[in-house]
Structure 1
């Protein structure tokens, strides 16, 4: 049974900008999607996140990216359609949709033990667009019930770039400033973490 959700502003326009390799990504039925994973780009802007997403990293001719990207002003872009399996969270791609929020995160010192704070807040326009998109996806994807942060699913640590004797989290996004309580309350999704 679906949870009844209060009315919210309509879904913002979604700008479809497929990645050059989108057609090379594996496919799945919409019914296979059970969760959304929230990320932050950890880049200074949308253009740099796009450049990273376009990089070919695998023999298949594909790279790492989310499905949807939401800029700070609330603009929503679709880089990979949900029916395609994007590479956005190790070990959890087959049943999830990745949503990337433009945010500096730890940029440019991602793995430096002295720069692990994530201090950029998520703007209201960005969070409103995210909530509207999540509500839309709940109607479009019949088995979507769960949500997780990248940090909830990829909990590995790696040697720090400044001092290999120290370890740092490989992924920390969306980070401590992400408004989990509000997002859960306004979408009806249930947060899950890795087993």
Structure 2
């Protein structure tokens, strides 16, 4: 198991959540604390990696002087199992410009892996599983009930609108972030949930 940290047993969290596997990142105590009342947004991502183990490896990498790295708060595997890497009262680094106010949820999905910025490989063809979307809906419902100011939801692609040179041809630009991407079933995922999709006109840095 990575870094010697085995997942804890599944346990109930956030009231109505049936089971989340609590698996804190090794550096979680170095992440900035925050009040739960500061959270008004969920940002949905896909890992753009082949499996949960790869996502965990990426999440454990220390990238900042303070000791933290990039990760979401929650990860949902293809079989619907949900993992909490970072508690809600800590700021996770998952969406630039929005971290302090948001919860990041990552769904395991290949996305554009392994040619993320190659202009010839921008299609995101892997569908999300029914188990993933059911687990996501349960998690969103529990978060909405537990966090008094949570009213918004967005995809990473809605908030990061930067285009960058393609890795195969710098004359071509591609979206820096495309997740959760065209395969994500927004209508199904948000049906009857009291969350409004946020789609700003301009990127915030």
What TM bracket, shorter-length normalisation? over 0.9
Given that 1:12 and 1:75 are in contact with CA atoms closer than 8 Å, whether structure 2 keeps it comes out as no
Q: Which residue is equivalent to 2:48? A: 42
**Paired residue for 2:140?**
134
Which residue pairs with 2:170 in the alignment?
164
The answer on whether the counterparts of 1:37 and 1:98 sit within 8 Å (CA) in structure 2 is yes
Residue matched to 1:17? 23
Contact 1:11 1:129 in 2 (8 A): no
Q: Aligned pair 1:185/2:168, yes or no? A: no
Task: Provide the C-alpha distance between the structure 2 equivalents of 1:40 and 1:19, rounded to a whole number of angstroms.
Answer: 18
User: Structure 2 CA distance, aligned partners of 1:185 and 1:77?
Assistant: 23
- Please point out which of 163, 182, 195 is paired with 1:176: 182
Instruction: Report runs of 4+ in structure 1 exceeding 3 Å deviation.
Output: none
CA contact (8 A) 1:154 1:171 kept: yes
8 Å contact from structure 2 (residues 45, 156) kept in 1:
yes
d(CA) in 2 for partners of 1:104 and 1:54? Answer: 19
Partners of 2:17 and 2:28 lie apart in 1 by 24
Aligned to 1:38, what secondary structure does the other structure show?
strand
Residue number among 69, 72, 78 corresponding to 2:78 in the alignment: 72
TM-score by length of 1: 0.93
- For structure 2, the 5+ residue unaligned runs are 1-15
| Deviations 1:33-72 (CA, angstroms, capped at 9, x unpaired) | 0010000000000000000000011111110000000000
Question: How far is 1:111 from its partner?
Answer: 0.3
Pick one of 126, 142, 145 that aligns with 2:151.
145
The corresponding residue for 1:88 is: 94
Q: Under a length normalisation based on structure 2, what TM-score does the superposition of the two structures give?
A: 0.89
Partner of 1:112: 118
d(CA) in 2 for partners of 1:102, 1:67: 13
Deviation at 1:186, TM superposition (A): 3.1
Mapped contact 1:34–1:96 kept (Cα < 8 A): yes
**Count of residues paired in the alignment:** 186
Whether contact under 8 Å (1:30, 1:82) holds in the other structure is yes
